[in-house]
Structure 1
Amino acid sequence: MHTEITQPFRFGPFRRRRPIRDLTFRNGFLVDLPPWAGGDADKLVARELKLWLKRRVRRDVKEIAADYSSRFGLAPRSIRVADFANGWGSCGAEGNILINWHLVFAPKKVLEYVIAHEVAHLRHRSHGPPFWDFLRTIAPDFEASKAWLDANQGSLSAEFLGS
């Protein structure tokens, strides 16, 4: 099940009376560093948190894609998560699907829409009417997720992690 990152989240249990440092991230993460943490500890915590988020969304992407593949008989050659400068997903000519890991910050329905969009490209390469008709078969309510993504794409940044 997709973990939506929408509420404060404490990363790592530390045993101490008072934290020396607090890191408050824009998307609700609060990390208290222990007194013995060095000057680069915030970067190390951010790197570990980024890795955890990528693993989390990778698992979700694979589960959702496997469901679509079994239901619609369309199996990608490979499916991976990646860093994108622009865009949310891609489907190469050989059937390799890439999904932007920043979608971990989106509602599950939005992640499902992006994956459905790329899976639909396995059958229809272009964005013509047959593509949109088939996408509607996979994700009947995709318009709401597409609209959410268009309206909120700026909030799906991981800049707070130094990326």
Structure 2
Amino acid sequence: MALPDSETIVLHPGVLGAPVGCPVRWYRSARARRVSLRIDARAGEVVVTLPMRTARRAGMALLTTHAAWVMQRLTALSPAVELAPGAEVLIGGRPHVIRHDPDARGGAFIDGATIIVSGRPEFLARRVKDFLRAEAKRRIATLVEGHAAALGVTVRALRLKDTQSRWGSCAPDGTLAFSWRLVMAPGWVLDYVVAHEVAHLRELNHSPRFWAHVETLTSHREAAQDWLRDNGPTLLRVG
């Protein structure tokens, strides 16, 4: 039952749709109880998850049945943004252009609407990503401190991750985790996500009491949720 890690499979998305090559990544999981599909926005491919003893043909059958949905979702993804000179990256919801200046000092830093990156060109992408992560942690830490003080709660630790399906999380031990990609979202969107997770330090659920705490911390709940639904996949396409 060996599976290829990834491959391109020709799908027929419908009567009027021409056959299209679809990038597919196969994944076998001991926890899976059924075949499932999901779109990996970062990689621009569909991931097919199979239970351990399920044959590849079951995944192919599901892909064929949902070919139109799969191709619609993949086609709707924004183009991938490579961290390279001239590329445009959002910071706080505002576009910033990457400029390489090998003679500059300081790694990577903001100058107006430009991200200036020093050093050798082969290190540029890493330096930009390191800068974005550091900026995300700085902004998130400031918001966490303010919201935690407002609710009278204690944060055990703050971590940054690069998740695909969750922008933030709160562990039972009081550790908060956030996607570093939130640094690209407008400040009021970031504020909502931080308020959401800090509120979980009082209510580790989504009860009315939890949402009441969120409302005391931020007024951007619905707008931020809408923004992340509409624009979140674009953030995953950066880097």
TM bin (shorter chain): 0.7 to 0.9
After TM superposition, the runs of 4+ consecutive aligned structure 1 residues lying more than 6 A away are 28-34
Q: Deviations over 1:91-121 (max 9, x none)?
A: 0000100010011110011111111000000
2:128 corresponds in structure 1 to: 49
2:171 to 89, 92, 117: 92
Q: Unpaired runs of 5+ in structure 2? A: 1-90, 104-112
TM-score (norm 1): 0.75
**Distance of 2:216 and 2:116 partners within structure 1:** 43
CA drift at 1:145:
1.1
Cα distance change of structure 1 residues 65 and 155 upon mapping to structure 2, 3 Å threshold: same
* Corresponding letter in the other structure for 2:222: E
2:148 corresponds in structure 1 to: 69
CA drift at 1:160:
4.0
Q: Give yes or no for contact 2:176–2:197 (8 Å, CA) kept in 1.
A: yes
* Corresponding letter in the other structure for 1:8: H
Q: How does 1:124-139 map to 2 (within 5 A)?
A: 124-139=203-218
Tell me whether 1:121 sits opposite 2:200 in the alignment: yes
Q: Unpaired runs of 5+ in structure 1? A: 16-27
Q: Give yes or no for contact 2:170–2:197 (8 Å, CA) kept in 1.
A: yes
* Corresponding letter in the other structure for 1:9: V
> What SS is found at the alignment partner of 1:8?
strand
**Distance of 1:75 and 1:122 partners within structure 2:** 8
**Distance of 1:52 and 1:33 partners within structure 2:** 12
Larger % of strand: which?
Answer: 2
> What SS is found at the alignment partner of 2:94?
coil
CA drift at 1:124:
0.6
**Distance of 2:117 and 2:126 partners within structure 1:** 15
Tell me whether 1:151 sits opposite 2:230 in the alignment: yes
2:97 corresponds in structure 1 to: 9
Q: Give yes or no for contact 2:160–2:178 (8 Å, CA) kept in 1.
A: yes
**RCO comparison, higher one (Cα < 8 Å, 6+):** 1
**Distance of 1:30 and 1:73 partners within structure 2:** 37
Report how many residues are paired. Answer: 140
State the superposition RMSD in angstroms: 2.5
Deviates more, 1:44-53 or 1:65-74: 65-74
Give the percent of matched residue pairs that are identical in Structure 1 and Structure 2.
Answer: 30
* Corresponding letter in the other structure for 1:13: D
Q: Which protein has the larger Cα radius of gyration, Structure 1 or Structure 2?
A: 2
